[in-house]
Structure 1
Amino acid sequence: MRFVTYAGREGDRAGLLVSQEVYALPPGVRLVDLLGDLPAAGEAALRDPAEVVPLDAVRLRAPIPDPPTVRDFMTFEQHVEGVAKLMGAGVPEQWYAAPAFYFTNPYAVRGPYDDVPVPPGCGVFDFELEVAAVIGRGGRDLSVEEAGGHIAGYLLMNDWSARDIQLDEMEVRLGPVKGKDTATTLGPVLVTPDELAPYRAGNAFDLPMTAAVNGLTVGTDRWSNMAFSYPQMIAYASRGTEVRAGDVLGSGTCGGGCLAELWGRLGLEAHAPLSPGDTVTITVERLGVQRCRVVEGAEPGADDLRASRRT
């Protein structure tokens, strides 16, 4: 099944997408509240929809517009290797030991066709093509064998990145945080695991992933090339703590899924950073297409943020 959230006349509405029509759930019902049993919710929408609207007549929001948390991992070795080249390094040995992640900003979630502003003070803006799993049932200290049963579905994710700000903050052995917190694009659809089962391969699914800027393809990969599985990611995330319904766990960028990797492999002249007016299109077969225009962002404030030095 494929679910969407769209902007209704009186707020966000959730519904089941069938072909090019949305079978709406009752007003006030959110997908995040149904993640424990999406098949039942879909059957109810088909049986007795609150409304049926053409897909092209609605503005899609992120399927989960306000996730409790967003964790972002690094599971594609090709991407890690390519970005490491930008720093004159190789893949760290520790990367192979566990699926590392950071927390990004749940307040920065945007819909699949929303404009994305350049972060204040950013001069090197980038995109990142990923696929995220959404937790349907919470848990703590989950095993890898248990964790797969806690996935409600999958969706397309773009982890927009202010590379210059990211590198600055990582010099103090923190981050990436501020370099990532202006926008994370999710959607257009949340797809249940059973619909993807025929494509199961490796650690994910044998489906193509494509990233383009202004209509020109800049990178491709296959989703199945993940070096860690989603159950491994969830088990690690839940170790000593909780995952909860609605939590979003991003795969990390696929091979060729960002400009930073292109710069690492081919040099900084390979592609200009994103700037206002650019359109980024990312696609994963069965999960749909995101198409976002980069726009001017806010100017950084003139506040003095420097620390007081000890004498």
Structure 2
Amino acid sequence: MKLATLKDGSRDGQLLIVSRDLKTAVIATNIAPTLQDVLDSWDFMAPQCEDLYVQLNQGRAPNSFDFDPTQCMSPLPRAYQFADASAYVDFVDLIARSRKDEIPDFFWSEPLIHQAASDDFLGPCDDILVASEAFGIDVESEIAVIIDDVKMGATPQQAAESIRLVMLANDVSLRELMQTEMIKKFGFLNSKPSTSFSPVAVTPDELADAWEKGKLHLPLRTSIKGKLVGAPNAGVDMTFSFPQLIAHLVKTRNAKAGTIIGSGTVFNKEGSKGNSSIFATRAAEIIAHGDATTPYLQFGDVVKIEMLDKNGKSIFGAIEQKIEQAE
């Protein structure tokens, strides 16, 4: 099943069911007003959404229309919680080595997760507004999941059952501002503007055998100014699976339906598939040559993030955004 949120001028938009080929959609507010409402009563409402999804794919859904990602908000325009991880520890190690540093051994056994802003997500085609290019504007292509209620102390096996939806994310980073915030050692704030997510969120069954043991085993494609800069496989070199990340999140507290967990920058350590962030490319340049030459994003640049299935078809639709100067 593929779900989205239509812009309608409100904070939370209207629930959409989107066809498997991403060509048509139908407003599903007769089932639930918003995606959060579906998540709050998943066992009751998801089967109704699934029935409508089947009708839509068979061309039988009443009042269907052409699907337009530019008219979408984030699947969840705002969420009760967004926790973003660094599940690809080889990426963290690369950054440390570029600074002639080492990561602690426990980074390989205990996930890194920080509390991120969740009150104002961007739509998949909304402009990314930044005050200055000097902030070091960077893309971070990620996988994210939306979960149901999870009780404190849940095991990874139990946590796996809570994953309701999967989507893509662009967790924009302002690298030059991040340097100061890292020194403060109190988490990211100004260096993390609003995150954007793919036009649709999909249930894990839509991913077939590409979804295995809480990891998505397909290349995540990142393009800048129309040039493909990276397509690392999201299931390769992911140190911690999503069930492990969720279990870590609920170690000391409950998590509620609608919580989003991000994977962190998708990264393959051999580097042959390119990178999902400019930061990784610059770190590799520093290690190899002593200096970084790849620039961060500039105003007017367009970033595109997409994942294709084994038949070359888009699964989630594309995040496609222009970098613009904030007034």
TM-score, normalization: structure 1?
Answer: 0.88
**Matched-pair contact (CA < 8 Å) for 2:149–2:254:** no
Distance (Å, rounded) in 2 between the aligned partners of 1:121 and 1:172: 23
Distance (Å, rounded) in 2 between the aligned partners of 1:217 and 1:79: 19
Which residue identity does 1:41 align to in structure 2?
Answer: C
Aligned CA distance change for structure 1 residues 81 and 57 (closer, same or farther; 3 Å): closer
**In the alignment, which residue of structure 1 is the partner of 2:144?**
132
Which residue identity does 2:140 align to in structure 1?
Answer: E
Indicate yes or no: 2:319 matched with 1:290. yes
State the shift of 1:231 in Å: 0.7
**Matched-pair contact (CA < 8 Å) for 1:72–1:104:** yes
Q: 1:210 aligns with which of 207, 221, 241?
A: 221
- Please give the secondary structure, in 1, of the residue aligned with 2:177: helix
In the TM superposition, what are the counterparts of 1:40-79 in structure 2 within 5 Å?
A: 40-44=48-52, 51-56=63-68, 59-79=71-91
Post-superposition Cα deviations, 1:50-85, rounded to whole Å, max 9, x if no partner, equal: 732210386011001111111000011332222223
Q: 1:116 aligns with which of 115, 125, 128?
A: 128
In the TM superposition, what are the counterparts of 1:118-197 in structure 2 within 5 Å?
A: 118-119=130-131, 122-180=134-192, 182-197=193-208
Distance (Å, rounded) in 2 between the aligned partners of 1:149 and 1:251: 18
State the shift of 1:46 in Å: 5.4
Identity of aligned residues (%): 24
Distance (Å, rounded) in 1 between the aligned partners of 2:179 and 2:68: 40
Distance (Å, rounded) in 2 between the aligned partners of 1:175 and 1:55: 38
**In the alignment, which residue of structure 1 is the partner of 2:271?**
none
Deviates further, 110-119 or 48-57: 48-57
**Matched-pair contact (CA < 8 Å) for 2:204–2:211:** no
**In the alignment, which residue of structure 1 is the partner of 2:3?**
3
Aligned CA distance change for structure 1 residues 223 and 83 (closer, same or farther; 3 Å): same
Indicate yes or no: 2:277 matched with 1:253. no
Q: 2:99 aligns with which of 56, 62, 87?
A: 87
**In the alignment, which residue of structure 2 is the partner of 1:12?**
13
**Matched-pair contact (CA < 8 Å) for 1:7–1:58:** no
**Matched-pair contact (CA < 8 Å) for 2:133–2:298:** no
Indicate yes or no: 2:200 matched with 1:199. no
**Matched-pair contact (CA < 8 Å) for 1:132–1:251:** yes
- Please give the secondary structure, in 1, of the residue aligned with 2:87: coil
Extract unaligned runs of 5+ from structure 2.
Answer: 268-274, 309-314
Which residue identity does 1:42 align to in structure 2?
Answer: E
State the shift of 1:257 in Å: 1.0
Deviates further, 56-65 or 276-285: 56-65
What stretches of structure 1 move > 4 A for 4+ residues in a row?
44-50, 119-122
Extract unaligned runs of 5+ from structure 1.
Answer: 299-311
Aligned CA distance change for structure 1 residues 202 and 42 (closer, same or farther; 3 Å): closer
Q: 1:273 aligns with which of 296, 314, 327?
A: 296
Distance (Å, rounded) in 2 between the aligned partners of 1:204 and 1:14: 27
Paired residue total: 297
**In the alignment, which residue of structure 1 is the partner of 2:25?**
22
Distance (Å, rounded) in 2 between the aligned partners of 1:69 and 1:276: 30
Which residue identity does 1:222 align to in structure 2?
Answer: N
**Matched-pair contact (CA < 8 Å) for 1:86–1:260:** no
**In the alignment, which residue of structure 2 is the partner of 1:301?**
none
**In the alignment, which residue of structure 1 is the partner of 2:311?**
none
**Matched-pair contact (CA < 8 Å) for 2:69–2:125:** no
Distance (Å, rounded) in 2 between the aligned partners of 1:136 and 1:117: 31
Aligned CA distance change for structure 1 residues 142 and 78 (closer, same or farther; 3 Å): same
State the shift of 1:103 in Å: 0.8
Indicate yes or no: 2:234 matched with 1:223. yes
Q: If each structure's strand is expressed as a fraction of its own residues, which one has the higher value?
A: 1
Which residue identity does 1:22 align to in structure 2?
Answer: A
Aligned CA distance change for structure 1 residues 264 and 45 (closer, same or farther; 3 Å): closer
Which residue identity does 1:291 align to in structure 2?
Answer: E
Q: Let me know the Cα RMSD of the aligned residues.
A: 2.2
State the shift of 1:147 in Å: 0.4
Distance (Å, rounded) in 1 between the aligned partners of 2:65 and 2:210: 30
